């Protein structure tokens, strides 16, 4: 019953917007304005056919490699920086400088250095997704409970055991927040990199091709694919987060119920 109410609440606004969209475009003859029915047809006929394997799968592969690289690198660097005050002071100015540079601005440079193949696209995705994960990991490592930290030292829990059983679990909620912020960034950078470097195909390059050849229906259907991809990633991450952080959410729910 509770799951049904949650699903109904999540679908209420999208269904309402689709109904309003359908009504307002009934008599519209503008070819640049998509209609819900035609959009669904283009989505099924164009994007669920050969383009699914030729364009969508390569994009998802680049996104997955870049995002996983950012997660692994961000957590590893975040733990090192957050655990060592000297390292944190040394790298903070450099981190702030690099973080202030928008990743899409670096794409022309990456194309010159790495070439126009998938490596430059994957590197751009990884670079853009790295910062929210890295900074949230640093914040999570720094904000561990001091009393519990002293307790682990008192009981002789040091080194890798302390990192594995105390620091990382304590920082995991902040790390999860960083990954959640990185998900939409990864989609944006995937599309930007493919629009700029069209070799190798992908969602971005195919959408640009449809736009330049005035195939408005397939173009809008491609944008729909991107939106559905974002929803799917958010849903999958929420399921993963619930399984990994069940103890944390249970603790938060218990705290709110006591108030």
**Percent of the chain having pLDDT more than 70?**
90
Q: Which domains does the chain have, with CATH numbers?
A: 37-239 (1.10.3720.10)
Task: Give the residue among 186, 213, 234, 229 at the shortest CA–CA distance from 55.
Answer: 229
Which pLDDT belongs to residue 134? Answer: 92
Q: How confident is the model at residue 253 (pLDDT cuts 50, 70, 90)?
A: low
Which pLDDT belongs to residue 33? Answer: 81
Distances (CA, A) of 225 to 20, 47, 132, 175, 229: 21, 8, 25, 28, 6
Burial of 35: CB neighbours in 10 Å, binned 0-12, 13-18, 19+: middle
DSSP codes joined into one string, 142-168: HTS-HHHHHHHHHTT--HHHHIIIIIH
Residue 75 has pLDDT above 90, yes or no: yes
Span 82-97, average pLDDT: 85
Which pLDDT belongs to residue 20? Answer: 85
> Which tens digits make up the pLDDT trace of 166-195?
888 888 989 999 999 999 999 998 998 888
Q: How many helices (H) and strands (E) does the chain have?
A: 13, 0
Q: How confident is the model at residue 7 (pLDDT cuts 50, 70, 90)?
A: low
Which pLDDT belongs to residue 62? Answer: 92
- What does pLDDT average to over the chain? 83
- CB-CB contact of 206 with 222 (8 Å): yes
Helices 85-99 & 118-142, crossing angle to 10 degrees? 140
> pTM of the predicted model, to two decimals?
0.84
CB atoms within 10 A of CB 147: 7
| 208-224-205 Cα angle (round to 5) | 20
């Amino acid at each position: 019953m509770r799951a049904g109410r949650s699903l109904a609440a999540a679908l209420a606004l999208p269904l309402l917007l689709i109904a309003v969209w359908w009504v307002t475009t009934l008599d519209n003859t503008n070819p640049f304005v998509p209609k819900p029915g035609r959009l669904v047809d283009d989505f099924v006929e164009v994007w669920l056919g050969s383009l699914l394997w030729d364009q969508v799968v390569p994009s998802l592969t680049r996104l997955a490699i870049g995002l996983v690289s950012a997660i692994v690198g961000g957590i590893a660097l975040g733990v090192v920086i957050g655990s060592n005050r000297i390292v944190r002071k040394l790298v903070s100015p450099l981190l702030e400088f690099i973080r202030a540079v928008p990743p899409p601005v670096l794409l022309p440079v990456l194309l010159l250095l790495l070439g126009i193949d998938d490596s430059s696209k994957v590197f751009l995705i990884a670079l853009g997704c790295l910062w929210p994960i890295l900074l949230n990991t640093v914040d999570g490592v720094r904000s561990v409970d001091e009393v519990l930290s002293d307790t682990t030292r008192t009981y002789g829990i040091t080194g890798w055991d302390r990192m594995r059983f105390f620091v990382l679990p304590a920082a995991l909620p902040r790390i999860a927040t960083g990954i959640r912020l990185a998900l939409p960034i990864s989609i944006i950078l995937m599309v930007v990199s493919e629009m700029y470097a069209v070799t190798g195909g992908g969602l971005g390059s195919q959408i640009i091709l449809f736009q330049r050849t005035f195939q408005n229906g397939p173009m809008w259907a491609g944008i729909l694919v991107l939106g559905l991809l974002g929803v799917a990633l958010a849903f999958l991450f929420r399921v993963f987060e619930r399984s990994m952080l069940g103890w944390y959410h249970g603790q938060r729910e218990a705290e709110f119920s006591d108030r």
